[in-house]
Amino acid sequence: MTKKWWHDKVAYQIYPKSFYDSNGDGVGDIPGIISKLDYLKDLGVDIIWISPMYPSPFADQGYDISDYYNIDPAFGTLEDMECLIAEAKKRDMYILMDLVVNHCSDEHEWFEKACEDPEGKYGNFFYIEDRKEGERPCNWRSYFGGSVWEPLPGHEDKQYLHAFHKKQPDLNWENPEVREEVYKNINWWLDKGLGGFRIDAIINIKKKLPYQDYPSDRADGLSDMSLMLADAKGVGEFLGEMNRRTFQPHDSFAVGEVFNEKEEELPDFIGDNGYFSSIFDFATTSWGKNDKGWYANERITPDAYKQCYFHSQKKIGDVGFYSNIIENHDEPRGVSYYIPEGDLCDESKKMLAALYFFMRGLPFIYQGQEIGMENLGVIPIEKIDDISALDQYQVCLDAGYTKEEALKIVSLYNRDNARTPVQWNDEKNAGFTTGIPWLMVNPNYTQINVAAQETDENSVLAFYKKMTALRKTPEYKETFVYGDVIPFEEERHNLMAYHRKADKDMLVIGNFQRERQSVTLPAEVENILLNNYPDMKLEGKELILEGYQAVVLEMK
Ligand code: TEU
Residues 327 and 212 in one domain: yes
Domain residues for the domain of 516 are 483-555
Q: Model ipTM? A: 0.93
Say if 478 falls within a structural domain.
no
Say if 2 falls within a structural domain.
no
CATH number at residue 525: 2.60.40.1180
d(CA 385, CA 378): 13
Residues 327 and 192 in one domain: yes
Residue nearest to atom 7 of ligand 1 (CA): 330
CATH number at residue 121: 3.90.400.10
Residues 361 and 218 in one domain: yes
Residues 232 and 319 in one domain: yes
Residue nearest to atom 3 of ligand 1 (CA): 201
Q: Per-residue pLDDT for the chain (556 aa), expressed as one digit of tens each?
A: 899 999 999 999 999 999 999 999 999 999 999 999 999 999 999 999 999 999 999 999 999 999 999 999 999 999 999 999 999 999 999 999 999 999 999 999 999 999 999 999 999 999 999 998 878 999 999 999 899 999 999 999 999 999 999 999 999 999 999 999 999 999 999 999 999 999 999 999 999 999 999 999 888 899 999 999 999 999 999 999 999 999 999 999 999 999 989 999 999 999 999 999 999 999 999 887 755 666 667 789 999 999 999 999 999 999 999 999 999 999 999 999 999 989 999 999 999 999 999 999 999 999 999 999 999 989 999 999 999 899 889 988 988 899 999 999 899 889 999 999 999 999 999 999 999 999 999 999 999 999 999 999 999 999 999 999 999 999 999 999 999 999 999 999 999 999 999 999 999 999 999 999 999 999 999 999 999 999 999 999 999 999 999 999 999 9
Lining ligand 1 with CB less than 6 A are 60, 63, 100, 143, 164, 200-201, 257, 329-330, 388, 415
Say if 550 falls within a structural domain.
yes
d(CA 262, CA 267): 10
Residues 68 and 135 in one domain: no
> Which of 21, 46, 98, 200 is the catalytic position?
200
Q: Report the pLDDT value the prediction gives residue 292, as an integer from 0 to 100.
A: 62
Say if 170 falls within a structural domain.
no
Q: Report the pLDDT value the prediction gives residue 278, as an integer from 0 to 100.
A: 98
Q: Is the dihedral of CA 205, 211, 216, 219 positive or negative?
A: positive
Say if 195 falls within a structural domain.
yes
Residues 336 and 307 in one domain: yes
257 is catalytic: yes
Tell me the CA–centroid distance for residue 327 and ligand 1, in Å.
13
Residues 357 and 384 in one domain: yes
pTM confidence score: 0.97
Residues 312 and 202 in one domain: yes
CATH number at residue 430: 3.20.20.80
Ligand 1 pocket test: which of 197, 258, 330, 394 has the largest number of ligand atoms within 8 Å of its C-beta? Answer: 330
Say if 469 falls within a structural domain.
no
Say if 466 falls within a structural domain.
no
Say if 492 falls within a structural domain.
yes
Q: Report the pLDDT value the prediction gives residue 133, as an integer from 0 to 100.
A: 80
Tell me the CA–centroid distance for residue 330 and ligand 1, in Å.
6
Q: Report the pLDDT value the prediction gives residue 293, as an integer from 0 to 100.
A: 66
Q: In what order do the strands lie in the sheet with 155-161?
A: 128-130, 155-161, 149-152
Residues 193 and 326 in one domain: yes
d(CA 545, CA 547): 7
Tell me the CA–centroid distance for residue 406 and ligand 1, in Å.
21
Candidates 348, 325, 324, 321; CA nearest to 336 is 348
Tell me the CA–centroid distance for residue 60 and ligand 1, in Å.
9
d(CA 513, CA 509): 12
Packed helices 346-357 and 460-472: angle between N→C axes, nearest 10 degrees: 20
CA dihedral 324, 326, 327, 331 (to 10 degrees): 110
Residues 418 and 532 in one domain: no
> Which of 29, 257, 281, 327 is the catalytic position?
257
Candidates 66, 30, 68; CA nearest to 48 is 30
Residues 499 and 356 in one domain: no
Decide which of 461, 491, 517 is a domain's last residue.
461
The number of domains in the chain is 3
Angle at the Cα of 21 from the Cα atoms of 15 and 23, rounded to 5 degrees = 145
Packed helices 403-413 and 387-398: angle between N→C axes, nearest 10 degrees: 140
Residues 81 and 116 in one domain: no
Tell me the CA–centroid distance for residue 328 and ligand 1, in Å.
10
Q: Report the pLDDT value the prediction gives residue 287, as an integer from 0 to 100.
A: 87
Q: Report the pLDDT value the prediction gives residue 399, as an integer from 0 to 100.
A: 83
Residue nearest to atom 17 of ligand 1 (CA): 330
- Please identify, by atom number, the ligand 1 atom nearest to the C-alpha of residue 204: 4
d(CA 510, CA 545): 8
C-alpha R_g of the chain: 23
